[in-house]
A and B are shown apart, each in its own frame.
Chain A
Amino acid sequence: MPAAASTPHAAPTGPMISVIGLVKSFGAKQVLNGIDLAVGRGESLVLVGGSGAGKSVFIKHLIGLIQPDEGHVVVDGVDLTLAPPETVLALRKRFGMSFQEGALFDSKTVFDNIAFPILRHRTRDRGQVAARVRECLELVRLPGIEDKMPSELSGGMRRRVGFARAIALEPEILLFDEPTTGLDPINTAAIGNVINQLRSELGVTAVTITHDMNLARRIADRIAMMRRGRILSIDTPDLFQRSDNWFVRAFLDGEVPEEDRP
């Protein structure tokens, strides 16, 4: 297990990711209002919530792309807000992240995009790299597009290439920001299957943001509802489905809740 390799003396215990009292503002706008959350080892947490609730800002804190104003993010015992840059950089090798807008390198081909983390952190062996890139593209049902440039792809294809790049190194911790938004049901199901496959085969820890309740039910151990920079509720998919929280109900039923109506 890679997790054991990095902490050879102590058996890994405790949650993989703990978030304590996270507060973040941009200028005068407070985006995160004190978030406490723990994600267990091998757990798959799905984060849902209205647009602008702060989900993307939150998930970027988990890998240290944004520093909080207050609070801490602890990943496998390392506090990202206190650790030296070296440690954070090393820790990120254990992460895979896909971005809401894909964030593909637009001057590189699809092949070079997916090969990027492999070449930097795994192997320079051409054959092995090519094999892994092909494998990843097949997982997201896009075989044979290695030579295309990102600008030649549709939005959904770009998103899937971003997903393929995130899983290329078979990382221990996966962060997906809306991996299936804008995808058809079949490709959405395929992405869900890949996430579940990674969980059962490699025991990865995953945090996924999505608006798609079908995907959420399929991959989640727990579903967290975020609203206005807070975690409103956090439940297993079954309990979440039957939640009597007024906002969760409105979210599930697709209605504008009383409080938000003008």
Chain B
Amino acid sequence: MAERPSAGPLAWLDHFGRSVLAALDELGRFFYIMSSSVLWSFRRPFDGAELLRQMVRVGWDSIPVVFLTCLFTGMVLALQTYRGFERFHAEGFVGSVVALSLTRELAPVLTGLMVAGRVGSAMAAELGTMRVTEQIDALYAMATEPIHYLVVPRVNASILMLPVLTIIGDAVGIIGGWLIAVGLFDANSYLYVDRTFQFLEVNDVTSGLIKAAFFGLILSVTGCAKGFYTAGGAEGVGRATTSAVVTACLYILLSDFFLTKVLF
């Protein structure tokens, strides 16, 4: 198979074609890992201990990051909207805006992005190292499907924990907004809290949580797929790790638009 790089006026076409094929390849791997991890989820043996371990890594260990991210996002949201809404005397609605933006959009997306950076990259590095040191081959050789043993607990833990983290993010962000409104702008605390919940519907929160579960699926499948198909030694592991984060963030932001369109 002679892979000669074509020169001349049509080189860009050649380059473009290769890029498209690579992207399709990438997408194919993503969907292969996703579908097979769903299928293997229902197969014995169920590894409860490993699932729990991954839930701690994805969920518990991410609480500080999500806490800080959402706290400051809630705070800055209050800061910005207060300044803006003052101009047309709508300060009273800051609480509603903060609550709606956080639950519907910001808490799930920011949680997804932060966890993609923290956990998705770790998954890619871990599976990538196992690939290049033949540990994945060793799993196959011991009649163990790596998708079942490695990918399933990671994906399921992420799907389960992202909504939990998002609830925490919702609450912390709303408290952050309240802190700024009441502490900095002397808003009436009772009124602010009342406005926060006045327009908030159950669907606002649940749609955010459904999104979060999707983002958990996306970031874990991306991380695992990048790791699983790593080639080329330590450098390959590095590439897989970086591109897991970039790809997962991209997929999260793209799918966010379509999920929002569907869910509301």
Residues in chain A within 8 A of chain B (CB atoms):
27-28, 60, 63-65, 89-90, 92-93, 95-97, 99, 101, 103-107, 116-117, 120-121, 165, 175
Contacts and interface: CB of A to CB of B under 8 A. Distances in A.
B137 A99 contact: yes
A64 B143 CA distance: 11
A92 B45 contact: no
A63 B141 contact: yes
B138 A120 contact: no
A89 B137 contact: no
Contacts of A107: 126
Nearest to B2: A28
A21 B17 CA distance: 35
Contacts of A96: 141
Task: Please name the 7 residue pairs, one residue from A and one from B, whose CB atoms are nearest each other, closest first.
Answer: A92-B143, A103-B134, A103-B138, A97-B141, A93-B143, A117-B142, A65-B137
B53 to A, nearest CB: 11
A103 B137 contact: yes
Contact of B143 (A90, A101, A175): A90
A21 B134 CA distance: 26
B135 A103 contact: yes
A105 B45 contact: no
Interface string B34-53: 00000000000100000000
B143 A103 contact: no
A106 B138 CA distance: 12
A89 B2 contact: no
Given A65-B141, A92-B141, A120-B142, A99 B134 contact: yes
A120 B143 contact: yes
21 contacts: A27-B1, A27-B3, A28-B1, A28-B2, A28-B3, A63-B140, A63-B141, A90-B143, A92-B140, A92-B142, A99-B141, A101-B133, A103-B133, A103-B135, A104-B138, A106-B133, A107-B126, A117-B142, A120-B143, A121-B143, A175-B141
Interface of B: 1-3, 45, 126, 129-130, 133-135, 137-138, 140-145
Query: Which of B3, B45, B140: most chain A CB closer than 10 A?
Result: B140
B144 A120 contact: yes
B141 A105 contact: no
B interface majority secondary structure: loop
Contacts of A65: 137, 140-141
A93 B144 CA distance: 9
Contacts of A99: 134, 137-138, 141
A116 B146 CA distance: 13
Contacts of A116: 142
A63 B144 CA distance: 13
A105 B138 contact: yes
Contacts of A165: 142
Given A92-B140, A95-B143, 14 more contacts: A27-B1, A27-B3, A28-B1, A63-B141, A65-B137, A65-B141, A97-B138, A101-B134, A105-B130, A117-B143, A120-B142, A120-B143, A120-B144, A121-B143
Contacts of B141: 63, 65, 92, 95-97, 99, 175
Contacts of B134: 99, 101, 103
A106 B144 CA distance: 17
Contacts of A104: 135, 138
A97 B142 CA distance: 8
B239 to A, nearest CB: 18
Contacts of B138: 97, 99, 103-105
